[in-house]
Amino acid sequence: MMTFDYTASAELFIPKNGKAGLRQPVSFRRFATAAEAIRFAVEDFPAIHTLRAWMRVGDERFNGHDIRRLYDDNGYPRRRRTRKPG
């Protein structure tokens, strides 16, 4: 299994209307660490995989499902938001 560097800088891209396309307007955000980008993507955009969002860390590209897997991984270094009942 590959070791992921959660401390590397990351860029998060989210299409503005949730559809993928070559000329689709995209919201872009740069983060100091991949862990911060992952937290933002998963906790602030719970449907990250349906939004067609992706993250770039160095030369690697991660889709919404990959981002979620990294968040759920035991190696994720940040505290996860607890879900509210209901």
Residue 19 has pLDDT above 70, yes or no: no
- Look up the domain containing 58 and give its range: 10-72
Instruction: With respect to residue 4, please indicate whether it lies within any of the assigned structural domains.
Output: no
**Strands, sheet with 26-31, edge to edge from the N-terminal-most edge strand:** 26-31, 10-15, 54-57, 60-63
- What is the tally of structural domains in the chain? 1
CA dist 30 and 42 (Å) reads 15
Give the predicted TM-score (pTM) of the model: 0.78
In a domain, 85, yes or no: no
Q: Is residue 81 part of a domain?
A: no
Does residue 66 lie within any of the structural domains? Answer: yes
Q: Does any domain span residue 19?
A: yes
What is the per-residue pLDDT across 23-52, written as a single tens digit (0 to 9) for each? Answer: 556 688 999 999 999 999 998 877 766 678
Of 29, 34, 32, 71, the residue nearest 49 (C-alpha) = 71
